[in-house]
């Protein structure tokens, strides 16, 4: 495969090309004088010529297990334009499926056209669908800040809800509609989840590059299913190409908070059966658009931000949706289910009544489901616990049309009279309460655990109390800056990732920030490894350089990217003990003396932090005590949390009259 010397690649990209770890590439660079020289980037994040790297790898026999697509992707990335690279990937997919096709209707630059031809050739050799999915995933990760996608587990859940709740069940020749399809995640999930043959998928997307990629995706999915797919490039609200179509199931993850959605030109549109959407409520325009495009008895599932459930401007439309039975259920999802990941998004389940849109269907309660407890905290995996979340939501929604069905904790039927007040707030959390009160045996177990922890703390306290201190013994200290000069340790300052956070991917690492330390201490996001300037490895000492979150510890977890105001110190084990260093650095007085200002938001000058000057043998003794003190502190915090929860649980049981007297 031909390449161009102007295409730059990072160390992480070289590692992917060669199928090795990043450390191996760094070793090659140090050990081999023939390794290509840097053509750009920085000393921390150097860049190299793709052509030179490819040639060097071939000459040194390091391309035995290479996938050709890894060499291909950097050339797509260097096209620069998001639209250009996206259209080129779509064109490559078109050529993979139709080898004799000259070109689709997409107009590309000469370089993009050549690249699409090469990608198609590679795809036919290495697997067309696999090559397309690889390029698409890399494209989505590269432009994650500009795009909002529906994660596959959420798309699958929405499709299952839509098919399960459609009145009349699944017949042959169902029509599925997605009026804002993006790259086709929901449409693809609908095809994969639908058990009936001859499904027809209609989708619309106003962005030409996204529409082209969605079309390519649906073409590949259609190879395994009996499906007819049509992807239109248009703005569904302003110029709906499927205005005459009525769908059995509609799925949608519309754009949020758009003010220019067509308020003026659509003021008299016939779709607004439930009321004219205010300018500030574009999401309610999408809700009514979906209902207007459903067959009687059809079901729509739409992702919405939580504010739509309670904003004052939309209360009249929400009331109308409830009174007519169009809004059947609202599901509050855990944060991290989809972009924006910090928000607890909602699923609204809508149904067109058998009598037609807007017809009254009185006497129906609304089903509100709070699934926020399925959020996953800490760990390397992003997003919620999908399997238990999906099982819970589907179980709760099974009771939608069965008033006598038992609901799980976190789901509740709310009479319309309770919802149709001055606010018409359909936020599930206002009406649901998950029972977390422990049973008698569970309380007994917790009491034993707390008692055991307190006993351990007592023994630890006795041991630490035996320590003797000699305050008259003169001690000298040395600053971290001087230790760096003496090559006893290296200091690297964390930075904002170059390419932003990514939701998933094999090449991602957790991102730790000061905000995470002030919360629960667990990394809350992920970044692409190549976009993280500083990654803390096991054994590094991590220091938070801000007064309000000042702390230092020896990193023992997986490789973790460090955000601004976090620092990684790597010691020379022949000169310094890492646990000794961390213990000295985290002394509160040390942080106060090194602070640049008196306020809690001021920085801590890491180079001014002081460390005892001791021989390595004595450092080990200090390090052991520092570790014991840190373990004691950790258990003390755990005991405090467990004790407070236990007191609260017992207080609730007593207040509810649960004492057996």
Model pLDDT, residue 498: 58
Locate 168 and state its tokens: 């009349």
For residue 334, the model assigns a pLDDT of 92
Question: How far is 625 from 97, CA to CA, in rounded Å?
Answer: 66
Exposure class string for 470-503: b at 16+ Cβ within 10 A, else e: eeeeeeeeebbeebeeeebbebbebbebeebbbb
Residue given tokens 């839509």 in the structure block: 162
Whether the CB-CB separation of 274 and 288 falls below 8 Å is answered with yes
Q: Is the pLDDT of residue 101 over 60?
A: no
Scanning 98-184, the segments in alpha helix (DSSP H) are: 110-126, 128-142, 152-165
Three-state SS at 467: coil
| Residue 547 binned pLDDT confidence (cut-offs 50, 70, 90) | confident
Separation CA 564–CA 248 (nearest Å): 50
Instruction: Give CA angle at 158 (152, 163), nearest 5°.
Output: 125
Which pLDDT band, with edges at 50, 70 and 90, does 661 fall under?
Answer: low
Q: How many angstroms separate the CA atoms of 9 and 604, rounded?
A: 35
Q: For the beta carbon of residue 595, count every other beta carbon within 10 angstroms.
A: 19
Encoding tokens for residue 464? Answer: 């630490």
The pair of structure tokens assigned to 65 is: 């297990």
pLDDT for res 504:
46
Q: For residue 292, what pLDDT is reported? A: 95
Task: Report the alpha-carbon distance of residue 123 to residue 132 in Å, rounded.
Answer: 7
pLDDT for residue 11: 82
Instruction: Look up tokens 């890399």; give the residue.
Output: 138
CA–CA separation, 138 and 69 (whole Å): 11
Of the candidates 279, 282, 280, 292, the residue with the CA atom closest to the CA atom of residue 321: 292
Taking residues 89-102, report their average pLDDT: 79
pLDDT grade for 112, boundaries at 50, 70 and 90:
confident
The answer to which of 102-106, 189-193, 454-458 has the lowest mean pLDDT is: 102-106
Q: pLDDT tier at 299 (50, 70, 90 boundaries)?
A: very high
Tokens in use for 647? 């007191």
Q: Does residue 490 surpass a pLDDT of 70?
A: yes
Longest dimension (CA), the chain: 91
Task: Provide the token pair at 174.
Answer: 């169902």
Lowest mean pLDDT among 52-66, 299-313, 406-420, 595-609: 595-609
How many whole angstroms separate alpha carbon 92 and alpha carbon 90? 5
Range in 176-185, 408-417, 519-528, 624-633 the model is least confident about: 519-528
């230092």: which residue's tokens? 552
Percentage of the chain beyond pLDDT 70 is 89
Task: Please report, for the chain, how many H helices and E strands are present, in that order.
Answer: 20, 22
Q: Which residue has the tokens 């510890």?
A: 553
- Picking from 244, 252, 353, 348, the residue whose alpha carbon sits closest to that of residue 298 is 353
User: 222 pLDDT exceeds 50?
Assistant: yes
DSSP, collapsed to helix, strand or coil, labels residue 200 as strand
DSSP 603: B
pLDDT tens, position by position, 549-560: 888 999 987 888
Return the pLDDT at 1.
41
Are 190 and 379 a contacting pair, CB within 8 Å?
Answer: no
pLDDT band for position 79 (cuts 50, 70, 90)? confident
Q: What are phi and psi of 282, to 5 degrees?
A: -65, -30
Q: How far apart are CA 66 and CA 25, in angstroms?
A: 15
Q: Which residue has the higher pLDDT, 383 or 636?
A: 636
Partners of 327 in beta bridges: 350
Query: Helix, strand or coil for residue 451?
Result: helix
DSSP per residue over 497-563, as a string? -SS-B-S--TTEEEEE-HHHHHTTSS--EEEEGGG-S-EEPTT-EEEE-BGGG-EEEE--SS-EEE-
| Separation in Å, CA 18 to CA 31, 52, 56, 612 | 17, 14, 11, 45
| pLDDT value at 109 more than 90 | no
The pLDDT of residue 659: 74
517 and 555 Cβ atoms separated by less than 8 Å: no
Residues 6+ apart with CB under 8 A from 421: none
The confidence score (pLDDT) of residue 500 equals 45
Highest mean pLDDT among 29-38, 421-430, 518-527, 651-660: 421-430
Work out the percent of the chain whose per-residue pLDDT is above 90.
36
Confidence at residue 212, expressed as pLDDT on a 0 to 100 scale: 93
pTM for this model (two decimals): 0.66
* Alpha carbons 182 and 255: distance in angstroms, whole number: 10
Residue 308 has pLDDT above 90, yes or no: yes
Of 626, 181, 57, the C-alpha closest to 49 is 57
Mean pLDDT of the chain: 84
Neighbours of 557 (CB within 10 A): 15
Identify the burial level of 457 via C-beta atoms within 10 angstroms of its C-beta, where 0-12 means exposed, 13-18 middle and 19 or more buried.
middle
Q: Are 224 and 188 in contact (CB under 8 A)?
A: no
- What count of other Cβ atoms lies within 10 Å of the Cβ of residue 255? 13
Query: Which residue in this structure is represented by tokens 């004492």?
Result: 659
Average pLDDT for residues 323-347, to the nearest whole number?
91
Look at residue 350 in the predicted model and tell me its pLDDT: 96
**Domain assignments of the chain as residue spans, ordered by start:** 8-142, 152-430, 477-612
Return the minimum-mean-pLDDT range out of 253-257, 262-266, 350-354, 516-520.
Answer: 516-520
- Select the CATH number that applies to the domain covering 477-612 from these four: 3.30.300.30, 2.60.220.30, 3.90.220.20, 3.40.50.2020: 3.90.220.20
**Beta pairing, strands 46-49 & 560-562:** unpaired
What's the distance, Cα to Cα, between the start and end of the chain in Å?
Answer: 83
Q: Tell me, what's the pLDDT at 102?
A: 55
CATH 3.40.50.2000 fits 152-430, yes or no: no
Overall average pLDDT of the 407-433 stretch: 90
The two tokens of residue 549 are: 């979150």
- How many other C-beta atoms are found inside a 10 Å radius of the C-beta of residue 125? 10
Question: Which of 67-71, 80-84, 97-101 bottoms out in mean pLDDT, i.e. has the lowest?
Answer: 97-101
Nearest to 480 by CA among 464, 493, 494, 498: 493
Q: Which residues contact 234 (CB under 8 A, 6 or more apart)?
A: 204, 206, 240, 241
pLDDT digit string (tens) for 271-289?
A: 999 999 999 999 999 999 9
Q: Are 494 and 629 in contact, with CB atoms under 8 Å apart?
A: no
Q: Which helix (H) or strand (E) holds 29?
A: helix 22-31
């Amino acid at each position: 495969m031909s390449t161009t010397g102007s295409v730059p690649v990072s160390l992480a990209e070289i590692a992917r090309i060669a199928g090795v770890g990043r450390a191996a590439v760094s070793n090659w660079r140090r050990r081999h004088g023939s390794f290509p020289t840097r053509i750009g980037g920085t000393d921390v994040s150097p860049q190299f010529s793709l052509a030179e790297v490819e040639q060097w790898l071939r000459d040194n026999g390091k391309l035995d297990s290479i996938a050709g697509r890894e060499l291909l992707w950097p050339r797509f990335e260097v096209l620069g334009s998001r639209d250009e690279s996206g259209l080129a990937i779509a064109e490559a997919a078109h050529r993979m499926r139709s080898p004799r096709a000259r070109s689709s209707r997409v107009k590309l630059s000469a370089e993009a056209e050549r690249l699409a031809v090469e990608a198609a050739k590679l795809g036919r050799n290495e697997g067309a669908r696999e090559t397309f999915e690889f390029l698409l995933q890399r494209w989505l990760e590269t432009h994650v800040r500009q795009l909002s996608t529906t994660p596959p587990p959420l798309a699958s859940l929405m499709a299952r809800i839509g098919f399960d709740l459609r009145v009349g069940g699944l017949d042959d020749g169902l029509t599925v509609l997605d009026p804002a399809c993006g790259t086709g995640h929901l449409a693809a999930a609908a095809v994969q989840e639908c058990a009936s043959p001859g499904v027809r998928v209609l989708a619309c997307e106003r962005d030409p590059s996204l529409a082209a990629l969605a079309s390519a995706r649906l073409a590949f999915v259609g190879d395994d299913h009996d499906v007819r797919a049509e992807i239109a490039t248009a703005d569904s609200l302003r110029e709906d190409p499927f205005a005459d179509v009525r769908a059995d199931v509609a799925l949608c993850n519309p754009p949020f908070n758009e003010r220019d959605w067509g308020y003026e030109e659509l003021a008299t549109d016939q779709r607004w059966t439930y009321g004219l959407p205010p300018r500030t409520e574009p999401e309610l325009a999408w809700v009514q658009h979906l209902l207007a495009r459903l067959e009687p008895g059809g079901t729509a599932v739409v992702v919405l931000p939580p504010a739509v459930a309670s904003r004052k401007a939309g209360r009249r439309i929400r009331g109308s949706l409830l009174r007519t039975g169009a809004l059947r259920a609202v599901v509050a999802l855990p944060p991290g289910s989809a972009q924006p990941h910090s928000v607890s998004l909602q699923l609204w389940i809508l149904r067109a009544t058998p009598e037609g849109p807007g017809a009254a269907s009185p006497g129906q309660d609304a089903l509100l489901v709070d699934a926020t407890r399925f959020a996953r905290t800490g760990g390397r995996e992003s997003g919620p616990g999908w399997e238990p979340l999906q099982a819970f939501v589907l179980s709760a929604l099974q009771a939608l049309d069965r008033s006598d069905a038992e609901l799980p904790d976190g789901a509740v039927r709310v009479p319309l009279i309770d919802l149709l007040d001055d606010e018409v707030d359909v936020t599930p959390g206002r009406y649901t309460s998950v029972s977390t009160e422990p049973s008698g045996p569970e309380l007994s177990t917790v009491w034993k655990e707390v008692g055991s922890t307190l006993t351990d703390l007592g023994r630890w306290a006795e041991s630490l109390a035996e320590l003797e201190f000699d305050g008259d013994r003169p001690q000298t200290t040395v600053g971290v800056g001087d230790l760096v000069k003496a090559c006893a340790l290296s200091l690297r300052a964390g930075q904002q990732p170059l390419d932003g956070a990514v939701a998933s991917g094999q090449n991602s690492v957790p991102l730790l920030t000061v905000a995470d330390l002030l919360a629960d201490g667990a990394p809350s996001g992920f970044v692409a490894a190549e976009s993280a300037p500083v990654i803390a490895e096991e054994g590094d000492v991590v220091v938070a350089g801000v007064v309000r979150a000042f702390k230092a510890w020896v990193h023992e977890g997986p490789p973790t990217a460090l955000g601004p105001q976090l620092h990684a110190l790597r010691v020379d084990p022949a000169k310094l003990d890492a646990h000794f260093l961390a213990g000295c650095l985290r002394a509160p007085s040390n942080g106060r003396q090194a602070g640049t200002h008196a306020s809690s938001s001021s920085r801590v000058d890491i180079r001014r932090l002081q460390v005892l000057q001791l021989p390595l043998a004595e450092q080990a003794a200090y390090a052991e005590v520092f570790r014991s003190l840190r373990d004691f502190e950790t258990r003390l915090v755990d005991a405090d949390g467990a004790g407070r929860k236990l007191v609260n649980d017992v207080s609730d049981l007593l207040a509810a009259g649960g004492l057996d007297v």
